[in-house]
Chain A
Amino acid sequence: MRYSGLRVIKEALTGHKGWTPAWRDPEPQPHYDYVIIGGGGHGLATAYYLAKEFGQKKIAVLEKGWIGGGNVGRNTTIIRSNYMLDGNIPFYEFSLKLWEGLEQDFNYNAMVSQRGVLNLVHTDAQRDAFIRRGNAMMLNGADAEFLTTRQIKERYPYINTSNARFPIKGGLAQHRGGTVRHDAVAWGYARGADSRGVDIIQNCEVTGFRRENGKVVGVETSRGYIGAGKVGCAVAGSSSRLMSKVDMRLPMESHVLQAFVSEGLKPVMPGVVTFGAGHFYCSQSDKGGLVFGGDIDGYNTYAQRGNLPVVEDVCEGGMAIFPAFGRARLLRMWGGVMDMSMDGSPIIDRTHIDGLYFNGGWCYGGFKATPASGFCFAHLLAKDTPHPAAKAYRFDRFEKGLVIDEKGVGAQPNLH
């Protein structure tokens, strides 16, 4: 069923009796050409593009819980491509371009809203660094504009520019950045994949891999053995756990990132503001809640919850630049498990085992990457060669000294 405005009107006039489930609930088949492990944004997008762009058939997505129940359902919904390094910026710009056409592409309202992302600067050195970043972005076809304090004040009149420690001296804006309705991304990709014949199998946990002659030929699951021509793993925070089943040690640690939503307010935040120096960023959802977050807690964890010192730190950061928000009450907070890689950049690559492919290490930036991650992983699975935009995301870059360390902090995941 195609969704459209006309359809909504027709259903409204006929009692909404014509809607059908957005995807099927199939029984697993004994064998698929492609098995994607992980029914999150990246896994579902991979299946969608495998079927749609690369014309592949017999694809399954295996999800241990329900689809979209991991990080795609628990993030702060921001999209942007304000990266600087060669390995990153073409990839994230590719992703932003896919976001721009996504809703028409998969015929689902994902509420893509290009309301702009603003990164604040506080010193001359930081201004230089951000202008350099903006230049790198423009060289790669992304948009960037440096805003003065006065321009920022026009958009955010209540922002505190005279904080003693971090006075605001301007900011780098990417006007094409913004927010997306995160759950709808998972649902839209799921519906698009399902309608092209992809089997989305929920409550199906992968418990092991079956290998013959050194090649992965299928997966053991809580719903029985499923044979596979190729297996792609896209399980985010659980990457190390899954890959340990084939004795792989990954260059990553799992950490928790907390996020918060306030009670609903009238429209007050026109875009996304990030206050990196104060470990705080914020936007406002269409329902009116302030959606904000800060840094990861900083220790290995698989618990989907954090600790109170970080809550205090994030809220202090918010109060420093938006004192008015102190009157808003906190409605919800939650934590997601991040696969923090050793250089802060992801991996989309073949493993050393034939038939086994890996997509992970997205740190806390996986949501904005969802479309390009799916597209590039599908390209790799279908053609066995990396997509040009993702060719730097290799496993062996650490051993070869080709790390993509956007922040320049070295091999310490809790600092990325």
Chain B
Amino acid sequence: MIINHPLLGPRDASEFTYIGDASLIDRPDWQAETAAKDFYEYQYLRDNPAGLHQELWFHESGDRSWLVVTRNTLTHEITDVQLARDVARARGRSK
């Protein structure tokens, strides 16, 4: 698979490590009353869809940036790649 890095252009997927569903960006609030349940769901439960999947890839052998890759889990086709930083900022996060 080739991942089209927003800054570096097309890079081989073997330069990256994979951590999973991009929902991991949204860490729950540890002070919420439902924190125990929220963290259980955050840590362990996954949608695991057959089809489009937003996921986190780390450019370990490159510029060490985190990317949010939108990839089809039925065909391995990658349709969108963004810096995870930009995705988080777009959701109102400071970094």
A residues neighboring B (CB under 8 Å): 238, 240-241, 244, 249-254, 298-303, 307, 309, 342, 398-399, 411-414
Contact = CB atoms under 8 A, between A and B. Distances in A.
B46 A241 contact: no
Contacts of A240: 46-49
Interface string B3-23: 000000000111001111100
Interface string B51-67: 00101000000000000
B32 to A, nearest CB: 16
Contact of A299 (B12, B18, B43, B47): B18
Contacts of A412: 19-20
A301 B18 CA distance: 12
B73 A342 contact: no
B75 A303 contact: yes
Given A299-B55, A300-B21, A412-B19, 17 more contacts: A240-B47, A249-B46, A249-B48, A250-B45, A250-B48, A252-B46, A252-B48, A253-B48, A298-B18, A301-B74, A301-B76, A302-B50, A303-B75, A307-B76, A398-B40, A398-B44, A411-B43
A253 B19 CA distance: 11
B1 interface: yes
B46 A251 contact: yes
Contacts of B43: 342, 398, 411
Residue among B17, B43, B44 facing the most chain A CB atoms (10 A cut-off): B44
A217 to B, nearest CB: 26
Interface string B69-95: 001011110000000000000000000
B46 A253 contact: yes
Contacts of B71: 299
17 contacts: A240-B47, A249-B45, A249-B48, A251-B46, A253-B21, A254-B50, A298-B17, A299-B55, A299-B71, A300-B20, A300-B21, A301-B76, A303-B74, A309-B12, A399-B37, A399-B40, A411-B44
Nearest to A305: B76
Majority SS at the chain A contact face: mixed
A309 B40 CA distance: 34
B73 A301 contact: yes
A342 B14 CA distance: 23
A263 B47 CA distance: 40
Contacts of A399: 37, 40, 44
Given A299-B18, A300-B20, A300-B55, A251 B45 contact: yes
A244 B51 CA distance: 14
Interface in B23-45: 37, 40-41, 43-45
B73 A414 contact: no
Contacts of B46: 240, 249-253
Q: Which of A249, A252, A299, A411 has the largest number of chain B CB atoms within 10 A? A: A299
A42 to B, nearest CB: 19
A250 B45 CA distance: 5
A378 B13 CA distance: 42
B52 to A, nearest CB: 11
B47 A303 contact: no
A303 B73 contact: yes
A206 to B, nearest CB: 15
A414 B21 CA distance: 12
A270 to B, nearest CB: 34
A301 B77 CA distance: 11
Contact of A253 (B1, B12, B20, B40): B20
A374 B49 CA distance: 27
A87 B20 CA distance: 27
A204 B24 CA distance: 36
